[in-house]
């Protein structure tokens, strides 16, 4: 993927307690949302569901996502869950990953942004997530980055609505 990853995501048992650990590692503040709504979900190519809770914070140049996957269970994992990449052409990037042998384990839409997890666990030990580049997504990344700029450590956990 040209440009490198924009996010590292770690599977955790509890989003809120994990944020405190990551603040101690120099990341934050974290923006938390429980049971994030997504639409048009396909799991292994069939209609399905994707229920997850996440905290998003800045760690140096990268966004860190702390994620609990509630459903489907086969997408849940502890440790490095995925690297995320912004792509200009969602279809082209997805096809390239499939050609590499990394099947599309889940695809969905959050707001107006399409995203997918490709299963690279056999080769890399984690999923590869692609996002269709969009102004709302870039705005979200910028909001998290700006919150970290000159952050004084207060209010480490903030709720997203």
Length of the chain: 161
List pLDDT tens digits, range 43-87: 999 999 999 999 999 999 999 999 999 998 889 999 999 999 999
Residue 110 pLDDT greater than 80, yes or no? yes
Domain ranges of the chain: 7-151
Strands 30-33 and 39-43: unpaired
List pLDDT tens digits, range 131-154: 999 999 999 999 999 999 999 999
The pTM assigned to this predicted structure is: 0.94
As a CATH number, domain 7-151 is: 3.10.180.10
The mean per-residue pLDDT over the stretch 74-102 comes to 96
């Amino acid at each position: 993927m040209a440009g490198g990853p924009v996010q590292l995501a770690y599977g955790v048992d509890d989003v809120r307690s994990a944020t405190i650990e990551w603040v101690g590692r120099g990341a934050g503040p974290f923006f938390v949302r429980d049971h994030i709504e997504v639409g048009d979900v396909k799991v292994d190519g069939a209609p399905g569901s994707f229920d997850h809770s996440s905290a998003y914070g800045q760690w140096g140049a990268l966004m860190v996502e702390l994620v609990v996957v509630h459903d489907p269970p086969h997408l849940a994992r502890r440790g490095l869950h995925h690297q995320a990449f912004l792509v200009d052409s969602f279809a082209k990037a997805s096809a390239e990953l499939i050609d590499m042998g990394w099947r599309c384990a889940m695809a969905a839409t959050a707001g107006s942004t399409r995203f997918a997890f490709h299963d690279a666990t056999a080769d890399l030990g984690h999923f590869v997530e692609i996002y269709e580049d969009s102004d709302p997504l870039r705005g979200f990344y910028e909001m998290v980055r700006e919150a970290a700029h000159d952050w004084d450590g207060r209010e480490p956990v903030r709720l997203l609505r």
